Amino acid sequence: MNLLRPNIRDMKGYVPGFQPDDVASWIKLNTNENPYPPSPKVMEAIYEELGADGASLRTYPSASSSKLREAAGELYGFDPSWIIMANGSDEVLNNLIRACAGEGEEIALVHPSYSYYATLAEIQGARVRCFGLTADFRIADFPERYEGKLFFLTSPNAPLGFAFPIAYVEDLARRCDGLLVIDEAYADFADGTALELVKKYDNVVVTRTFSKSYALAGMRLGLAIARPEIITALDKIRDHYNLDRLAQAACVAALRDQLYFRDCCARIRETRDWFTLELTAIGYDVIPSQGNFVFAAPPDKNGKRVYDGLYGKKILVRLLSDPLLAHGLRISIGTRKEMERTLAALREIG
Ligand SMILES: Cc1ncc(COP(=O)(O)O)c(C=O)c1O
């Protein structure tokens, strides 16, 4: 059909992780969701926002997510003018490309990392440059000066789980002429964050999601932190009512319940480290992870065989289509009980 832009007509489109209808009958470890529910304060806030008869839904929500940006600013130590809220961090990743890269202009990403960046660039008509990784998880052949419009750095890396040291990220920030977008979707499970670099460098943007550590994947919530000039530009592009009322109320409540949040992250980290040791003991090659998942390869390096075996036992993990990753699986960290059952299944599958 020649009504379409050629890049849209010809593109494949991103394939998100499988979301089964009968989710309760699976151990679901394929999209890095949180195995625990969100803070109980979240439910209270949603009901309060709805009111007795749901009348609040008649009127539009705050277009600027003002209370939420204040709550996030307080937590992360930034003025709200440095924060933009997003309908899932995917929304703001998209808008960052739209704001910076015109048709034919270059953006860059690390391979492997979150494959959605390339899809977003394709929609925009931007060119994509891929930087590979060295054996010790540094970026291969990164130029002294990178002149592209934007560079996506996922840290902790997904799907591999390692994190780049902050001093290394800082060096990259100095070498980028365009924006350095640090996707910290998994930073709440990690030992460090690059947030301080946002204050130090005017080209650094940090994005976060509430889908993982705050257990709010179903509400679609994310944010970006950057200089107000960048935030103002992103504000012009987003849908003006991008976050609904319930999502805004839920997120404020989740952010304010730091006790619950910290406990939940600590449990997941503990289970991750235990699972890593156990998997290693049965011969798996596991990359030490700073996220809420591990990338692990079975002794025969046949990810598909193990994926099928787990699938048959109603355990869903992620087999990535990238040939570079076919030797292993990305396994989200569930509850301790779910991971014990997964480990037992892996022992049986052999
Ligand atoms: C690295 C990375 N960035 C961003 C996202 C998107 O998160 P959200 O649910 O906030 O759109 C994901 C989701 O899996 C991710 O793995």
134 and 243 housed in the same domain: yes
Is residue 222 lining ligand 1, measured as CB closer than 6 Å? yes
Angle between the N-to-C axes of helices 40-50 and 245-256, in degrees from 0 to 180, rounded to the nearest 10: 140
What tokens does 212 get? 């993982």
Task: In whole angstroms, give the CA distance from residue 316 to residue 325.
Answer: 17
Is residue 65 lining ligand 1, measured as CB closer than 6 Å? no
Instruction: State mean pLDDT over 329-338.
Output: 98
Confidence of residue 184 (pLDDT cuts 50, 70, 90): very high
Is residue 89 lining ligand 1, measured as CB closer than 6 Å? yes
CATH of the domain at 302: 3.90.1150.10
Is residue 100 lining ligand 1, measured as CB closer than 6 Å? no
Over the stretch 236-276, which tens digit does the pLDDT of each residue have? 999 999 999 999 999 999 999 999 999 999 999 999 999 99
77 and 202 housed in the same domain: yes
24 and 50 housed in the same domain: no
Confidence of residue 96 (pLDDT cuts 50, 70, 90): very high
Which atom of ligand 1 lies nearest, measured to the CA of 31?
A: 14
* CA-wise closest residue to 330 among 74, 78, 29, 85: 29
Within 8 A by CB and 6+ apart from 300, the residues are: none
- Total domain count for the chain? 2
Residue 289 in any domain: the answer is yes
110 and 178 housed in the same domain: yes
Over the stretch 25-66, which tens digit does the pLDDT of each residue have? 999 999 999 999 999 999 999 999 999 899 999 999 999 999
Is residue 32 lining ligand 1, measured as CB closer than 6 Å? yes
Give pLDDT, residue 1: 64
* Amino acid residing at 332: S
CA of 114 to the centre of ligand 1 (A): 8
Which atom of ligand 1 lies nearest, measured to the CA of 154?
A: 1
46 and 77 housed in the same domain: yes
- Residue-range definition of the domain harbouring residue 230: 40-257
Task: In whole angstroms, give the CA distance from residue 172 to residue 205.
Answer: 13
Task: In whole angstroms, give the CA distance from residue 303 to residue 313.
Answer: 16
Confidence of residue 2 (pLDDT cuts 50, 70, 90): confident
State the chain's mean pLDDT as an integer. 97
How far, rounded to the nearest angstrom, does the alpha carbon of residue 122 sit from its chain's CA centroid?
A: 19
Task: In whole angstroms, give the CA distance from residue 22 to residue 27.
Answer: 11
Residue 345 in any domain: the answer is yes
Residue 1 in any domain: the answer is no
155 and 136 housed in the same domain: yes
Torsions phi, psi of 215, nearest 5?
60, 40
Q: DSSP letter string over 151-182?
A: EEEESS-TTT-----HHHHHHHHHHBSSEEEE
263 and 253 housed in the same domain: no
Residue 283 in any domain: the answer is yes
Question: What does DSSP say about strands 179-183 and 204-209: parallel, antiparallel, or unpaired?
Answer: parallel
CATH of the domain at 105: 3.40.640.10
Best mutation site among 18, 29, 31, 90 for ligand 1, i.e. most ligand atoms within 8 A of its Cβ?
Answer: 90
110 and 211 housed in the same domain: yes
Is residue 344 within 8 Å of 56, Cβ to Cβ? no
Instruction: State mean pLDDT over 139-160.
Output: 98
246 and 263 housed in the same domain: no
Pick the last residue of a domain from 210, 233, 257: 257
CA of 298 to the centre of ligand 1 (A): 26
Residue 49 in any domain: the answer is yes
Task: In whole angstroms, give the CA distance from residue 101 to residue 152.
Answer: 13
24 and 59 housed in the same domain: no
109 and 208 housed in the same domain: yes
Is residue 39 within 8 Å of 254, Cβ to Cβ? yes
213 and 113 housed in the same domain: yes
Question: In DSSP terms, which residues pair with 128 in a beta bridge?
Answer: 107
Residue 35 in any domain: the answer is no
Pick the last residue of a domain from 203, 232, 257: 257
Task: In whole angstroms, give the CA distance from residue 122 to residue 116.
Answer: 10
CA of 308 to the centre of ligand 1 (A): 25
Within 8 A by CB and 6+ apart from 55, the residues are: none
Residue 13 in any domain: the answer is yes
Pick the last residue of a domain from 217, 240, 257: 257
CA of 202 to the centre of ligand 1 (A): 24
